[in-house]
A and B are shown apart, each in its own frame.
Chain A
Amino acid sequence: MKRIRLLKILCVVFCTVGAVLIGAGIFMQYRASQNGYAGSVISETAEFETPRELVVITTSMPVTAEYGDTDRVIVSYTGSLPLIFTEDKGMLRITQNDTFTMTLFSPKTAESGIHITLPHKVYERISLSSSSGSVTSDCLMADTLEFSTKSGDMRLLGIDERASVRTESGNVYAEFSSFSSDMTVYAGAGDVTLLMPDELSLYLEFFTESGTFTSERFDETYYHEYGDAAVIYNGAKHKLRVNTSSGDLYIY
C-alpha cells in the first residue's frame, strides 16, 4: 500500500514538473518565433559553372536532376546541414555529410531534397547516388551515366543502354529512349519496371531467386530454372540482363 502511495506521489510530482517544463519550452519557442526564428532547416540555392562531370552522393536526401533553360548549374536544396560542393578539374561534386545528425520535431525536413538544373549538353559523366533517398533523372545525356541507391527508389526517364543502374532494395522505373547495345540492371530486392522503345529488338536475360517476370510484349518466354527467364524478341540484336534477388521485372 505504501508503494502504491509512493508511486502516486511520484506520478503527480513528475507530471507537474514535466508539464511546467513543456509549458516553459512552448513559451520560449513562441518568444523565439516572434523574434524571427524560423528553424534550423536549411534551404539554399547555389550556382556553378557548367562542369564536364557531375557527381552527387547523398545519404538520405532525394536527388532530382534535369535539363533547364540555363547556362549555369543551379542546385537548390532543403536539408538539415549545408551540402558540400567541390569543384575540381571540370568536375562538380556534391556530397551530403550528415553523420551524427538527428532531426527532432521538424516537419520541414520531410521536404528535404536536392534539385539540380543543368544546361543542355552531353556531359562526360553524370553519377547520382543516394543511400536511402530516391534518384530521379529526366532525359540526361552523358557518356557515362551512373545511378545507384541502397534503399531509395529510382525514376529514370529518357535513358539509354549506356546507363548503369544499381540498387539493393529500391524500385527502379526506367523509360528508355533507345537501346542499341548490351546493358545490365542490378536491383536486388527492388522491383524493376522498364518501358522499352516500340521498335525494339532485344535478348532479355532475367536472373532472379524469387522474383517474377511479367510482360505483354513478348510472345515466348523460356524459363531456364525456377524464376529465371530468357526472352528473345524481334530478332534480338542486343542483350539486356536484369539481376534481382526477390524483385519482380515488368517490361512494357
Chain B
Amino acid sequence: MRYRSFFRVWYFFGCVGLVMLFIVTACYVFTALGLLALGVVAFPSVMLGRLGILTVTSDIQSGALLLISAGVLLLGAGMSFGAIPVCRSAYGVLSRFVKRAAVRRERAYNEEDTTS
C-alpha cells in the first residue's frame, strides 16, 4: 500500500512537470517562429528603405533599425534551428517518463499482490 501511494505522488508531480515542459517547449517554438516571421518582414523592408524604394517610418534611427531587424532575423532563424533539438529532447523526456511510470505502476501492483 505504501509503495502504491508513493507511486501515485511521484506520478502526479511527474505529470505536472511534463505539462510544464510541454508549455515551455510550445513557447519556445512559437517565439522562434514569431521572431523569424518578424525578421523576414522587417529586414527586407528596412533594406528597401535604405535603398530609397520604400519609406520606412519608425521611432528607431535607421542604422539602429537595420541592426535590430538583422538581429531579430538571425535570432529567429537560430531559435528555429534549435526548435528540432528542443522538441526532440522534450519528446525524449516525455516518452522516458511514460515508460518508467508504466514500469513503476506494474511493480507497485506486483508488490501489492505479493504482500497481500
Looking at the complex, which of B4-12, B59-67, B106-114 is the stretch in contact with chain A? Answer: B59-67
Q: Is the CB of B84 within 8 A of A4?
A: yes
Given contacts A25-B65, A100-B55, A102-B57, contact A14 B72 (CB under 8 A): no
Q: Is the CB of B88 within 8 A of A4?
A: yes
CB distance from A58 to the nearest CB of B (A): 15
Interface size class of B (residues with CB under 8 A): 35 or more
Cα–Cα, bound, A189→B70 (Å):
41
- Give the residues in chain A near B46, CB-CB below 8 Å: 104
Interface of A is mostly: helix
Q: Is the CB of A10 within 8 A of B81?
A: yes
Q: Is the CB of A21 within 8 A of B61?
A: no
Q: For B45, B55, B85, B88, which residue has the most chain A Cβ atoms within 10 angstroms?
A: B55
Neighbour of A11 across the interface among B67, B69, B71, B85, CB < 8 A: B85
Residues of chain B from 29 to 69 with CB closer than 8 A to chain A in the complex: 42, 45-46, 49, 53-61, 63-69
Q: For B59, B68, B69, which residue has the most chain A Cβ atoms within 10 angstroms?
A: B59
Q: Is the CB of A14 within 8 A of B75?
A: yes
Residues of chain A from 24 to 40 with CB closer than 8 A to chain B in the complex: 24-26, 28-29, 32, 37, 39-40
Looking at the complex, which of A47-55, A88-96, A105-113, A216-224 is the stretch in contact with chain B? Answer: A105-113
Q: Is the CB of B75 within 8 A of A15?
A: yes
Cα–Cα, bound, A4→B54 (Å):
39
- Give the residues in chain B near A12, CB-CB below 8 Å: 78, 82
Q: For A8, A26, A102, which residue has the most chain B Cβ atoms within 10 angstroms?
A: A102
Given contacts A4-B84, A102-B56, A104-B46, contact A32 B61 (CB under 8 A): yes
Kindly state whether residue A86 has any CB partner on chain B within 8 Å. Answer: no
Q: Is the CB of A22 within 8 A of B55?
A: no
CB distance from B6 to the nearest CB of A (A): 36
Given contacts A14-B74, A29-B60, contact A21 B68 (CB under 8 A): yes
Kindly state whether residue B77 has any CB partner on chain A within 8 Å. Answer: yes
Neighbour of A102 across the interface among B45, B61, B84, CB < 8 A: B45
Residue of A nearest to B46 (CB): A104
Cα–Cα, bound, A74→B73 (Å):
43
Cα–Cα, bound, A109→B74 (Å):
27
- Give the residues in chain B near A8, CB-CB below 8 Å: 81-82, 85
Q: Is the CB of A7 within 8 A of B61?
A: no
Given contacts A14-B75, A15-B78, A26-B68, contact A100 B54 (CB under 8 A): yes
Given contacts A41-B59, A105-B59, contact A25 B78 (CB under 8 A): no
| Beyond A25-B68, A32-B63, 7 additional pairs, beta carbon < 8 A | A8-B85, A11-B81, A15-B75, A17-B74, A18-B70, A104-B56, A108-B59
What are 10 A-to-B residue pairs whose CB atoms are below 8 Å? Answer: A8-B85, A12-B78, A18-B76, A28-B63, A39-B59, A80-B55, A102-B49, A102-B57, A103-B58, A104-B60
